[in-house]
Structure 1
Amino acid sequence: MSNTRVDVAPFITEQEFPPLQHFINGAFVESAGEEYSEVVNPANGQVIALVPRGSTADVDDAVNAAHDAFRQWGSVTPKERSEAMLAIANVVEENADLLARLEAHNAGKPLEVAGDDVDGTVDIFRFSAGAARAFTEAGAGDYVEDHTSFILREPLGVIGAIVPWNYPLLMGAWKIAPILAAGNTLVLKPAEQTPLSVLKLAELIAGVLPRGVFNVVTGLGREVGEALSHHEKIAMVAMTGSVGSGRAVASAASGTLKRVHLELGGKATVVVLKDAGSDAVAEGVREAGFWNSGQECGAGTRILVDKDVEAELVEKLVAQIGTLTVGDPAEGEHIEQCPLVSEQHFERAKGFLERAQNEGAVAALGGSAADREGFFIQPTVLTNV
């Protein structure tokens, strides 16, 4: 493991930041309130931006803009919406380096991961462009005597979307692209820790979409997210986040009987039988467990292994995971593990490690915070859990 820190010039300039405002009705606008959230670079704990803490009034403005825009956007042909999705994909591709650096700077992502997220963002817009023109359904026919049946697909209306901090741009795109391609309009709330890449996307594509089709309101879940979930002009709310947040959204949405789409957290288990090759398992876990610094619900964080091969596998895991290069993403593309996204998450992870070891777990590798500034945890393998 390497955790050498080198002095590097900032790889994001002030001019490359997006406007630090809400994006409503095709323009960046001041917030209705005067409260702001600090956006922090997790590699050093320094505040890099202040973004508005949106209010119910800001959500109302965005929803009304989206509601008005839906009258036109919901009736344009799939061909026109498809062409808009392709245009957005091209804009993202043309600005891939900037978006990846901004994502790495804000979320503390390795550049390889941030670059992969941008590639996925391009892909989902292109995929949605095709899907918008390729609906399949049962043919019209007289399935009941004297009654002709057919299916007509129509957009729902205004969709509220809430995206998490671990994949801000990519999970934003997973919602933006299909929602808009289907003819809906959108009000999106990025995570308060990581709003910069979605705001930059809004800036870059402002000229592609009609005003009001895509809107961004920054702020906290208990304020902006709850307002979106309650709002009577929103037809559906889609959220990716924790189980607790999902319950809150579903409960708030129930009052207006709006549709709800929830993608909630989980934890992936790796099951290793005695005939599995320990070298291949160790190589797989190195990536599956530590991609995006382990900050995803699909991370392979628990290993259930046959006792007969446990000692050998632990040895191979320590050898593999011990080669991870730890550092600030600004140090270069060779950095594989970066900081956790926030001080709150960092303290939570430290608490897990401390409690596990107090209860008898043994750190075969790592086991604590890294000795450096920022929110870094050592690559860790715990045994005897």
Structure 2
Amino acid sequence: MTTTVVQKNQGGLAATLAAGPDDQNVSEVINPATGQVSARYRRATREDVDSAVKRAEAAFKVWGATPPVERAEALLKIADAIEEEAEEFARLESEDVGKPITHARGDMPWMWDVMRFFAGAARVSSVPAAGEYANGSTSWVRREPLGVVGLITPWNYPLLMAIWKIAPALAAGNTVLLKPASLTPATTIKLVEVANRFLPEGVLNLIIGDRESGTAMVEHPSIRKISLTGATSTGKFVAATASKTLKRLGLELGGKAPVLVFADSPVRQTARDLVEFGFSNSGQSCTAPCRVIVEESIYDEFVEAYCAEVKSLVVGDPADPETGMGPLISEHHMNQVLGFIERAREAGAKIPVGGNRIDRPGWFVEPTVVTEVKQTDEIVQNEVFGPVVTIQSAKDDDEMLQLANDVNFGLSASVWTTNLSRTLRFSRELQFGTVWVNQHEYNASEMPFGGFGESGMGYELTAHGIDEYSQVKHVMVKPDLNA
């Protein structure tokens, strides 16, 4: 068996993919809490990608013609199996990502919810009703699968992002090449093992690899769509490369979420909630509330309350149920985050809490608060993707809105207020794909998720998410040639 192909009912995939001591073309997985190698996998080559595409093309002839009810039944069985093995999925996610085990367990119910949601959506048509619209003819629309699609997922939420993508892709009738980030493949490997108990051979194919294998997917002429969740720089490269074969694209990219805290919000409760959201997954989230903008009259009170909550965070071993924040994903990423903090210091910012590496094995950085920043500062404009939150002040609603929209990203934002008029205005004028009010980072399978500007194109979730993996065909029939 090759690196990329997972055959039906074939167990022990992780062992099959594990690289031997003499293998040269390998990816090493580092436990971010210890800095030690936890696994080694053979990387897929361009030849492996081509082989997987051929298998997926063959499988599409059957899966693409499978009735929606049968596709739905397969997704429901996969959802049940994920729920049954939830603890093992949570353990693997915690070890690979460095996410506290309690948080990994808390994420699990959404995994099977998304799968079950798209099982239902597979059976619901979103196309117009058939009818006589012109020229004495009857028109109808067919919603058809694209064919073979390539799904590329990130390292920060590897299991959730894989499910967000494979559920609508499979529900629509496509066959799939799924490539997880090489830093965190464990839950994706297990997901493919579980899913292939219920899918026909060749429908879901695994790619373990690096930039070379990802590029091979984007360039492959037989892959009809690429869906990527990742950095904006990666998204730009994928868009440019995919344009050569005019592939469909779904790009969920970076974010720099503004959080607008008004004087009518309960200061201490708001601070407590925002610390919980802001440092979840060590701030490694594209929707993290990392850019707090506070109404001037409560600024000092809020900063004091926020810093007190940050100081109470328990940072440590992800396997410890008491841990509230774990490590960053890699040494390289840790150094990037520390670089942002150091340059902010040099630019005159203040750091009332944190700002340093923690002296212990692994890639730990203190939860950090940065104040007295300018809107043009790098740390305000660019995605840090770590446990670093800036706090600014603004004198009124207009300045709050201006500062919030003054970045290139447009993924998510939140407004903390009890004023209904303000809520309506800001939900309309904030240029972000998701706007929360008095909460942050919650989503629902029924609602779309996607960004504006440099945060990407297309959307995930919602029943219309299946349309992202479909093409529509207008059929127009004139029954009487003599008419």
TM-score (norm 2): 0.73
**Aligned match of 1:189:** 179
CA spacing shift, 1:30–1:281, aligned 2, 3 Å: closer
CA spacing shift, 1:20–1:44, aligned 2, 3 Å: farther
> Does the aligned pair in 2 maintain the 1:289–1:299 contact within 8 Å?
yes
CA distance in 1, matches of 2:197, 2:264: 57
Q: Is residue 70 from structure 1 mapped to residue 52 from structure 2 by the alignment?
A: no
CA distance in 1, matches of 2:70, 2:309: 49
- AA partner of residue 138 (structure 1): P
- AA partner of residue 207 (structure 1): R
* RMSD after superposition: 1.8
> Does the aligned pair in 2 maintain the 1:25–1:66 contact within 8 Å?
no
> Does the aligned pair in 2 maintain the 1:20–1:52 contact within 8 Å?
no
**Aligned match of 1:270:** 259
**Aligned match of 1:4:** none
**Aligned match of 1:6:** none
1:242-298: CA deviation from partner (whole Å, max 9, x where unpaired)? 111111111111111111111111110112223332112201211221111111011
> Does the aligned pair in 1 maintain the 2:18–2:39 contact within 8 Å?
no
**Aligned match of 2:354:** 366
CA distance in 1, matches of 2:149, 2:232: 20
Give aligned-pair identity as a percent. Answer: 46
Q: Is residue 150 from structure 1 mapped to residue 150 from structure 2 by the alignment?
A: no
CA distance in 2, matches of 1:246, 1:134: 31
CA distance in 2, matches of 1:21, 1:320: 46
Q: Is residue 287 from structure 1 mapped to residue 276 from structure 2 by the alignment?
A: yes
Question: Which deviates more from structure 2 when the two are superposed, residues 74-83 or residues 139-148?
Answer: 139-148
CA distance in 1, matches of 2:232, 2:81: 34
Give 1:183-222 correspondences, 5 Å limit: 183-221=173-211
Q: Is residue 109 from structure 1 mapped to residue 91 from structure 2 by the alignment?
A: no
**Aligned match of 1:168:** 158
CA distance in 1, matches of 2:363, 2:7: 37
Q: Secondary structure at the match of 2:34?
A: coil
> Does the aligned pair in 1 maintain the 2:262–2:295 contact within 8 Å?
yes
> Does the aligned pair in 1 maintain the 2:79–2:112 contact within 8 Å?
yes
The offset of 1:188, in angstroms, is: 0.8
Q: Secondary structure at the match of 1:325?
A: coil
> Does the aligned pair in 2 maintain the 1:24–1:62 contact within 8 Å?
no
CA distance in 1, matches of 2:348, 2:263: 25
CA distance in 2, matches of 1:251, 1:133: 35
The offset of 1:147, in angstroms, is: 1.5
Residue of 21, 28, 51 corresponding to 2:41: 51
How many residues are matched? 365
> Does the aligned pair in 2 maintain the 1:328–1:338 contact within 8 Å?
yes
CA distance in 2, matches of 1:45, 1:184: 39
CA distance in 2, matches of 1:226, 1:368: 36
Q: Where do 4+ consecutive residues of structure 1 move more than 4 Å?
A: 27-34
**Aligned match of 1:325:** 314
1:146-170: CA deviation from partner (whole Å, max 9, x where unpaired)? 1211111111100001000010000
Structure 1: gaps (5+ residues): 1-18
The offset of 1:39, in angstroms, is: 0.2
1:307-350: CA deviation from partner (whole Å, max 9, x where unpaired)? 3222111110011111111111112x221100011111111111
Residue of 17, 22, 29 corresponding to 2:4: 22
CA distance in 2, matches of 1:249, 1:116: 32
- AA partner of residue 291 (structure 2): R
> Does the aligned pair in 2 maintain the 1:285–1:300 contact within 8 Å?
yes
Residue of 72, 86, 98 corresponding to 1:82: 72
CA spacing shift, 1:209–1:287, aligned 2, 3 Å: same
The offset of 1:30, in angstroms, is: 6.1
The offset of 1:31, in angstroms, is: 9.8
CA distance in 2, matches of 1:182, 1:351: 44
Question: Which deviates more from structure 2 when the two are superposed, residues 200-209 or residues 72-81?
Answer: 200-209
CA distance in 2, matches of 1:103, 1:30: 18
TM-score (norm 1): 0.91
> Does the aligned pair in 1 maintain the 2:55–2:202 contact within 8 Å?
yes
Structure 2: gaps (5+ residues): 374-483
Q: Is residue 260 from structure 1 mapped to residue 242 from structure 2 by the alignment?
A: no
